[in-house]
Amino acid sequence: MLNVKKKKKLKIATTLGFFLIIEGFHCYLSNKGTVIKNYGVSFGVDGWFFIFLNVFFVILLTKYWWKYNHFGLNLIVIGGWVNAVDRLFWGYVRDYWKLGIIYNNLADWIIQIGVIIFLSQIWIKRSK
């Protein structure tokens, strides 16, 4: 059984690994396809207040992620940081796919899947 220190190192290493894979995929798609520059936060919402709120939410989630071990929460944090790094380096989030009227990217999908897994983990834990 792993002690707490080793568990935290493993958690950081796996999260960083997934982050680098997704960021690498973003760079690959940027070079191969059309990039839609999303200056808004989510669903095309624009404005500095919403951007600040989004960054604050990612930081808050990261603090919660550090304390608890939920796979869904790991996915949310990874996707949030990928989008935050895009916004920091590029000034926008790089989106690639259009579904209806909404543009999104792999990090958006990871966040959505993470939310579903996280909520189901909480629901299962509370129903026991």
What's the whole-model pTM score? 0.74
Residue with tokens 């936060």: 41
pLDDT at position 43 over 60: no
Q: Quick one: which of 44, 73, 43 has its CA closest to 60?
A: 73
- Angle between helix 106-127 and helix 4-32 axes, rounded to 10 deg: 150
Q: How far, in Å, CA of 109 to CA of 107, rounded?
A: 5
Q: What is the pLDDT of residues 48-80, one digit of tens each?
A: 666 677 677 777 777 776 667 678 888 888 888
